[in-house]
């Protein structure tokens, strides 16, 4: 009889998710056995079944085989954020009913690297690119950016940083907003310091509000 996905095996997948998060990587079979208070022989039996079902893969390294959930295994364990295909911002497309994959975390989705950090946005100077007051922006530390890229720039004297598009103009740095009501700023290049480049935005605190419409009633 082929192996089945039992409640116990679903529980083992869920525990693997927890262990992977707390340990910073996939656990070994011995660590899983200790965590769920089962014998190594029992865990080996269930791991073999989960592998044959396509929910687990084993990684060799560090002297022990590590148990890593496949994408299907993560979905069964309820881990990750489901991605339901695409959404049209142009011509309509068919809406998906079932997730085509999962994203383990927002870190993975945004490609977070060691050293990256978040800043909470204050102000409306970048609303033209969808960065609103109260959003969080993901920033990657680096001292140089290309013309037109959005950067975190430390301004002279007032010890404040700002998020703007940056352009090099001879010996000056031009900082350009994405809001027509906010004028551009110019500084000598030696007076400002680029602290990082904009990677992405998280709109976690956006209030619900009605948008103005130009529609006419028939």
Rounded distance between C-alpha atoms, residue 12 and residue 19, angstroms = 10
Of 159, 115, 168, give the one whose Cα is nearest residue 139: 115
Residue where the block lists tokens 């969080």: 136
d(CA 34, CA 21): 16
SS3 call for 103:
strand
* Separation of first and last alpha carbons in the chain: 65
DSSP 134-157: T-EEEEE--S---TT-EEEEEPTT
Exposure of 25 in the CB half-sphere (CA atoms within 13 A) = 9
Q: What's the CA gap between 93 and 108, in Å, rounded?
A: 26
CA separation, residue 94 to residues 54, 82, 83, 84, 87 (Å): 29, 17, 14, 11, 8
Q: What is the Cα gyration radius of the chain?
A: 25
Q: Which two tokens stand for residue 194?
A: 């680029």
- Planar angle of CA 115, 117, 120, nearest 5 degrees: 170
Active site amino acids:
125, 164
């Amino acid at each position: 009889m082929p192996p089945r996905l039992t409640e116990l095996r679903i529980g083992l997948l869920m525990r693997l998710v927890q262990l992977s998060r707390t340990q910073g990587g996939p656990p070994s079979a011995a660590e899983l056995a200790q965590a769920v208070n089962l014998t190594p022989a029992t865990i080996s039996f269930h791991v073999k079944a989960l592998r044959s079902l396509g929910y687990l893969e084993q990684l060799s390294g560090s002297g022990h085989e590590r148990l890593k959930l496949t994408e299907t295994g993560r979905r069964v364990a309820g881990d990750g954020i489901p991605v339901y295909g695409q959404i049209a911002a142009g011509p309509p497309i068919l809406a998906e009913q079932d997730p085509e994959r999962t994203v383990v975390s927002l870190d993975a989705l945004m490609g977070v690297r060691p050293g990256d950090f978040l800043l909470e946005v204050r102000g409306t100077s970048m609303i033209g690119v969808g960065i609103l007051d109260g959003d969080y922006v993901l920033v990657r530390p680096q001292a140089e950016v290309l013309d037109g890229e959005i950067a975190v720039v430390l301004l002279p004297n007032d010890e404040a940083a700002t998020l703007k598009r940056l352009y090099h103009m001879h010996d000056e740095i031009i900082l350009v907003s994405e809001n027509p009501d906010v004028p551009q700023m110019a500084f000598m290049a030696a007076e400002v310091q680029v602290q990082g480049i904009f990677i992405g935005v998280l709109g976690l605190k956006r209030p619900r509000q009605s948008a103005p419409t130009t529609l006419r009633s028939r």
